[in-house]
Amino acid sequence: MTAIILLLALPLEAIHLKTLKKRHFIATTTILAVGSWINWYYTKTYTILLFAFAMTLSLLGDLAMANWIKLTKIRLIDGIIFFAVAHLLYAFGALTLATPDWRLLGMVVLIIGSIGYMKVAYNPSKKTLSIGAAFYTATIMTAFGIMILNAIDNPNTTSLLQALGMALFVSSDMMIAYREFHRDFNQSERFISANYILGQLLLQLSVSIF
């Protein structure tokens, strides 16, 4: 049942990709948030609770990026705040399923995160945003590293869906960073949205009731 509700995000995202209207995008992420809480209602597990809160904070991040809610005067900073906490919750949720080698995790986060940040998110002319992006990079790479190592150590449906979902999430964020810190590119909104929604969907499906 929960998976069916979550999968409703796909036709909604198809509508958004056609119209590029903010309300259609928010409707899609709202369905994912609602589905995550329905999943928790039927299971009452700690892991799913963390994933539900992560999806809810992601929805708040989406609202901030759409300028529908404001914490600061800079929407990207608002988005960074909400999504950084969401990634930490995803990371803690993944840790309840397996414990990776922390030394290897540190190397993965440092190497991949540093390369990604310097190539995409660092811009000396935007120091405040660059500092925020550095903090955000650390949080998302921690979550990504944990899920990648879980998938390698214990490959199963849950760990593989989480690794793939977070990989899509990372690719979406890298595209956002490139657009915000460097220049826009053709069909950027569609590529960013498709990767993001599919990534979130896989993350939620990884802990859902089929």
Question: Which three-class secondary structure state does DSSP give residue 156?
Answer: coil
CA–CA gap between residue 56 and residue 5 (Å, rounded): 16
Domain spans, the chain: 2-205
Confidence of residue 67 (pLDDT cuts 50, 70, 90): very high
Mean pLDDT of 93-122: 74
Mean pLDDT of 42-56: 96
Q: Which residue has the tokens 């944990």?
A: 146
Phi, psi at 87, each rounded to 5°: -70, -35
CA 64 from centre of chain: 14
Q: Spell out a b/e string for 5-15, using b for 16 or more CB atoms within 10 Å of the CB, else e.
A: bbeebeebbee
* Percent of the chain residues topping a pLDDT of 90: 61
The pLDDT score that the predictor gives to residue 133 is 79
**CA atoms 124, 126, 128, 134: torsion sign:** negative
Mean pLDDT of 32-50: 95
